[in-house]
């Protein structure tokens, strides 16, 4: 009897998107990763990686058998040869892009957001959030542990600046040239028993892929064939443009006497260097990349949501003293999970949008000229301003002071918009009378 093929035994999807190089491929084109210890050395990845192969023999379970007769269990992308975790063959993936200027707060936002989501999703929305590949998410774990589970909660800590190369990237030899690819962070999101759509788990579960790029990678000219590190922008279901008010001279002026954040009042050496980066340039460049790689005409509006994540809310909240920081999701009588209150998000969005329109109109104009669905969401990844470390001269925060707010809202909003059925919402102000979407 011929052995089962992997397509029938393991796969539910007809097409897989590689989370490393974003190539789409059919599951039967997938390579496998040899297990036999003698089969090391891969043409694209180098001698320290196990050899990738297109199988001709399979075990009864549907796993490929390598040349040495060992059962292989891991699969790899036919284009870049990097490992594609197994859930990608079974669960549809969804990509989100976080972009913004150097030091605008992307890495802090990412770390606080995943930390908060890991708790909020199961507790209030009955959705599990697990690492699709724990080793790939190791860097994010480090960030989360340093900020939230630190055994020395009184000591100042800081997340290092994200570099444009190094251990957050994989180098792939494509024959005539090498390419640098960013390591993805990958999570499986699945409805739990209490979720109203639990029975439709197979249809509504998702693998969420995120990337932590360096701000420099969004500068004009940084997107090259050998370093296509921001190409996820084109397939992203929601773009999160992080706008940092502390880097804007007009915001800083408006905050005079209203903020104690050292980033608002004075600039450190790192921030001084970066103060020359105009944030509208970064947004316009990202828009160009999406247009180019997603094949959008100049006059065509992007159909997917653009969220302007206005970072470091703690440092400028006195500009909008009436804006409530209460969580925009609530219990509904008779329902087992919470619903997102999109009206509250829209109300905050219009307040923040008006503020930006007044202080930095070019950002709003650029965003409005690009996206049909535009939302402004303020977040604080730390809950308070960082302190200047007298020893290193850099900014840090004490883990005991970490108290993020609204940091999970952009992602909940994006999931509600793009992964229908996983996070529900209500279009009402009062929790008693609305219709679920």
Ligand X SMILES: Nc1nc2c(ncn2[C@@H]2O[C@H](COP(=O)(O)OP(=O)(O)OP(=O)(O)O)[C@@H](O)[C@H]2O)c(=O)[nH]1
**In a 3-state reduction of DSSP, which class is residue 354?**
helix
User: Parallel, antiparallel, or unpaired for β 40-42 and 46-50?
Assistant: antiparallel
Alpha carbons 292 and 6: distance in angstroms, whole number: 35
Strand partners, 191: 127
User: 28 to 87, contacts with ligand X by CB under 6 A?
Assistant: none
Which pairs count as long-range contacts for 268-274, CB under 8 Å and 24+ apart, including other chains? 268/388, 268/393, 268/394, 268/395, 269/393, 270/103, 270/161, 270/394, 271/103, 271/247, 274/101, 274/102, 274/103, 274/215, 274/247
Residue 382 within binding range of ligand X, rule CB under 6 A:
yes
* Burial state string for 126-140 with b = 16 or more CB within 10 A and e = fewer than 16: bbbbebbbeebbebb
Biggest CA-to-CA distance, the chain: 79
Cβ proximity of 209 and 186 under 8 Å: yes
> Of 23 and 324, which CB lies nearer to Zn ion in the complex structure?
23
Q: Which stretch in 73-81, 103-111, 260-268, 395-403 sits in contact with Zn ion by CB under 5 A?
A: 73-81
**Residue 266 DSSP class:** -
> Of 40 and 152, which CB lies nearer to ligand X in the complex structure?
152
Site mask for ligand X (CB under 6 A), range 96-115, x = bound: ----x-xxxxxxx-------
Alpha carbons 161 and 174: distance in angstroms, whole number: 29
Residue 378 within binding range of ligand X, rule CB under 6 A:
no
- Quick one: which H or E segment has residue 287? helix 279-294
Q: Is the dihedral of CA 378, 382, 385, 390 positive or negative?
A: negative
Residue 31 within binding range of Zn ion, rule CB under 5 A:
no
Choice from 223, 280, 314, 408 touching ligand X (CB under 6 A) = 314
Closest approach of ligand X to the CB of residue 311, in Å = 6
Q: Which stretch in 46-54, 131-139, 178-186, 312-320 sits in contact with ligand X by CB under 6 A?
A: 312-320
Closest approach of ligand X to the CB of residue 262, in Å = 9
Partner in contact with 21, chosen from Zn ion, Mg ion, ligand X, none, beta carbon below 5 to 8 Å by kind: Zn ion
Q: Which stretch in 76-84, 310-318, 326-334, 351-359 sits in contact with ligand X by CB under 6 A?
A: 310-318
Closest approach of Mg ion to the CB of residue 208, in Å = 19
Residue 425 within binding range of Mg ion, rule CB under 5 A:
no
User: 108 to 167, contacts with Mg ion by CB under 5 A?
Assistant: 162
Residue 97 within binding range of Mg ion, rule CB under 5 A:
no
Cβ proximity of 76 and 51 under 8 Å: no
The order of strands in the sheet holding 329-330 is 329-330, 339-341, 425-426
Choice from 16, 80, 132, 352 touching Zn ion (CB under 5 A) = 80
User: Parallel, antiparallel, or unpaired for β 374-378 and 306-310?
Assistant: parallel
> Of 145 and 368, which CB lies nearer to ligand X in the complex structure?
145
Residue 366 within binding range of Zn ion, rule CB under 5 A:
no
Chain centroid to CA 74: 24
Closest approach of Zn ion to the CB of residue 20, in Å = 4
Residue 30 within binding range of Zn ion, rule CB under 5 A:
no
Choice from 17, 107, 259, 426 touching Mg ion (CB under 5 A) = 107
**Residue 51 DSSP class:** P
Residue position matching structure tokens 């952009």:
410
Residue 190 within binding range of Mg ion, rule CB under 5 A:
no
Closest approach of ligand X to the CB of residue 15, in Å = 32
Choice from 120, 162, 339, 349 touching ligand X (CB under 6 A) = 162
Task: Tell me the residue length of the chain.
Answer: 437
User: 176 to 235, contacts with ligand X by CB under 6 A?
Assistant: 214-215
> Of 184 and 305, which CB lies nearer to Zn ion in the complex structure?
184
Cβ proximity of 227 and 332 under 8 Å: no
Residue 233 within binding range of Zn ion, rule CB under 5 A:
no
> Of 108 and 376, which CB lies nearer to ligand X in the complex structure?
108
DSSP 281-335: HHHHHHHHHHHHHHT--TTPPBSS-EEEEE--HHHHGGGSTT---S-SEE--TT-
> Of 158 and 234, which CB lies nearer to Mg ion in the complex structure?
158
Residue 419 within binding range of ligand X, rule CB under 6 A:
no
Residue 98 within binding range of Zn ion, rule CB under 5 A:
no
Residue 126 within binding range of ligand X, rule CB under 6 A:
no
Residues that bind ligand X in the complex, under the rule CB under 6 A: 100, 102-108, 159, 161-162, 214-215, 261, 311-312, 314-315, 380-382, 385-386, 395
Residues that bind Mg ion in the complex, under the rule CB under 5 A: 106-107, 162
């Amino acid at each position: 009897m011929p052995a089962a093929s992997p397509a029938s035994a393991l796969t539910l999807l007809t097409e897989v998107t590689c989370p490393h190089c974003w190539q789409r491929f059919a599951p039967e084109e997938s390579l496998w990763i040899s297990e036999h210890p003698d089969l090391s050395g891969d043409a694209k990845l180098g001698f320290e990686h196990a050899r990738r192969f297109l199988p001709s023999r399979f075990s009864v379970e549907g796993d490929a058998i390598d040349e040495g007769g060992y059962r292989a269990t891991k699969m790899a992308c036919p284009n870049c040869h990097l490992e594609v975790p197994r859930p990608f063959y079974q669960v549809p993936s969804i990509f989100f892009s976080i972009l913004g200027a150097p030091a605008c707060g992307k890495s802090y936002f990412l770390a606080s957001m995943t930390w908060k989501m890991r708790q909020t999703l199961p507790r209030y929305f009955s959705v599990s959030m697990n690492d699709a590949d724990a080793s790939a998410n190791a860097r994010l774990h480090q960030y989360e542990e340093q900020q939230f589970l630190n055994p020395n909660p009184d000591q100042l800590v800081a997340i290092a600046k994200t570099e444009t190369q190094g251990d957050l990237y994989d180098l792939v030899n494509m024959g005539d040239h090498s390419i640098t690819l960013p390591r993805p962070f990958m999570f499986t999101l699945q409805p739990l028993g209490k979720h109203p759509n639990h029975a439709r788990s197979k249809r509504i579960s998702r693998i969420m892929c995120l990337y932590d790029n360096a701000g420099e990678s969004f500068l004009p000219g940084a997107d090259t064939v050998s370093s296509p590190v921001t190409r996820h922008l084109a397939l992203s279901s929601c773009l999160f443009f992080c706008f940092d008010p502390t880097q804007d001279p007009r915001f800083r002026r408006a905050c005079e006497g209203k903020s104690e954040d050292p980033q608002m009042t004075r600039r450190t050496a790192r921030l001084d260097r970066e103060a020359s980066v105009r944030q509208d340039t970064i947004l316009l460049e990202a828009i160009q990349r999406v247009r180019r790689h997603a094949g959008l005409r100049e006059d065509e509006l992007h159909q997917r949501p653009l969220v302007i994540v206005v970072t470091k809310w703690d440092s400028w909240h006195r500009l909008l003293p009436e804006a409530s920081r209460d969580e925009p999701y609530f219990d509904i009588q008779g329902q087992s999970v919470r619903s997102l209150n999109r009206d509250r998000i829209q109300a905050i969005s219009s307040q923040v949008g008006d503020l930006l329109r007044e202080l930095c109109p070019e950002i709003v104009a650029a965003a409005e000229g690009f996206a049909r669905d535009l939302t402004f969401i303020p977040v604080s990844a730390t809950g308070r301003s960082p302190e200047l470390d007298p020893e290193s001269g850099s900014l840090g925060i004490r883990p005991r002071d970490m108290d993020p707010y609204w940091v999970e809202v952009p992602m909940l909003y994006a999931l509600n918009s793009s992964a229908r059925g996983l996070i529900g919402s209500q279009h009402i102000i009062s929790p008693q009378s609305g219709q679920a979407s």
